[in-house]
Amino acid sequence: MYRLVLYSFYVFLGACSFGILSTIVKLAYKEGFSFREVTAGQYGFGWGIMLILMIIFSRQKVSLKQFIRLAAVGACTALTGVFYYYSLQTIPASIAIILLFQFTWMGILIHSIATKKWPSKSTLLSLIFLISGTILAGGMVGGNVKEIDILGMIFGLLAAFMMSLFILLSGKVETQLPLITRSFYISTGGLLVLLTIFTPKVLFSSFGDDIWFYSFLLGAFGTVIPIVLFSLGAPKISPALASILSAGELPVAVIASVWVLQEQVTWVQWLGVLIILSGIAYPQIVTYQATKHSNHVKVL
């Protein structure tokens, strides 16, 4: 039970790391940096940090097949960022975050189809908590949204789909490899995707004198920390639980926007945050009680 809680905590922390990104991105936008510069800076610096860790701690070689599989995982997280950051340019942030958080049920649905198993009652109840809390925390209730860009909505849903794939694949692809080696090649896959979408010139510009600080923060919190933590925890827990725990991103995003950006958050949004946290905690409580009951029966 202790190990399950620990691995779950790793995934939750990885999600929390993703939650800090929106605040950093908003600060970078206020300084006048573009969508391309911010995105390229995140993966450029992230890959650079992972390269240093790889050289110091792990130099294990991988086969071409292993590299392709790990690069595909990295492509998922890179495309999540690209699609989400683009959607933020065309639709309100409250709508974009609602669309992104559809990864919770998408991931569970994909896993259920793949395994031909219906989700447990605790998982379904947790999803109800998460979806309800996301609607409230995202500012949908009481909002004044008049027009929605269809293309922006499509990209928001694509971001959710790629996020769900990243969570699922993080727990399954080449999990026998050393942590640093695995994380490095995942980040390499993300960088390669960015190089095909943007020109190398944009990537190099992210190391400039003015933007390097934001690039470093985005690389650390958006690439290195979550990839490492998901690599640690996701292979040891169920995909459904990993999807639920990843919802921790939204409460952190809300709290960071209040503390750093001094944004106003209504009591309805705070209620949504509490509901999300309840939805995350519920499966853990059910698992703990089931384990405790099982141990009690064995003693008897």
Q: What is the pLDDT of residue 65?
A: 94
Alpha-carbon torsion, ordered 119, 271, 10, 39, to 10 deg: 100
Q: What is the pLDDT of residue 66?
A: 94
User: Higher-confidence residue: 246 or 295?
Assistant: 246
Q: What is the pLDDT of residue 79?
A: 93
Distance set, CA 67 to CA 178, 181, 257 (Å): 13, 10, 37
Average per-residue pLDDT for the chain: 82
Specify the length of the chain in residues.
Answer: 300
User: Higher-confidence residue: 279 or 48?
Assistant: 48
CA 259, CA 240: separation in Å to the nearest integer?
31
Tokens of 29: 């936008």
First to last CA, the chain: 19
Given a cut of 60, is residue 146 above it in pLDDT? Answer: no
- Mapped onto helix, strand or coil, the DSSP state of residue 261 is coil
CA 130, CA 104: separation in Å to the nearest integer?
8
77 near 229, Cβ under 8 Å?
Answer: no
CA 289, CA 283: separation in Å to the nearest integer?
10
pLDDT band at 109 (very low <50, low <70, confident <90, very high): confident
Q: What is the pLDDT of residue 265?
A: 74
Percentage of the chain lying above the pLDDT 90 cut: 22
CA 153, CA 160: separation in Å to the nearest integer?
11
**Ordered DSSP codes for 70-116:** HHHHHHHHHHHHHHHHHHHHHS-HHHHHHHHTTHHHHHHHHHHHHHT
Given a cut of 50, is residue 85 above it in pLDDT? Answer: yes
Measured at the alpha carbon of residue 75, what is the angle toward residues 77 and 98, in degrees to the nearest 5? 35
Residues 6+ apart with CB under 8 A from 189: 70, 71, 72, 73, 74, 75, 78
Given a cut of 50, is residue 299 above it in pLDDT? Answer: no
Helix boundaries (H) for 91-197: 93-100, 103-115, 121-137, 150-170, 179-197
- Regarding pTM above 0.85, the answer is no
15 near 247, Cβ under 8 Å?
Answer: yes
Tokens of 60: 């294990």
Query: What does the pLDDT average to over 265-274?
Result: 82
pLDDT band at 128 (very low <50, low <70, confident <90, very high): confident
Residues 6+ apart with CB under 8 A from 114: none
Q: What is the pLDDT of residue 295?
A: 54
Given a cut of 90, is residue 72 above it in pLDDT? Answer: yes
Q: What is the pLDDT of residue 142?
A: 58
Given a cut of 80, is residue 159 above it in pLDDT? Answer: yes
Q: Which amino acid is at 295?
A: N
92 — phi, psi (to 5°)? -60, 145
User: Higher-confidence residue: 113 or 202?
Assistant: 113
Given a cut of 80, is residue 283 above it in pLDDT? Answer: no
pLDDT band at 287 (very low <50, low <70, confident <90, very high): low
Tokens of 207: 């190391």
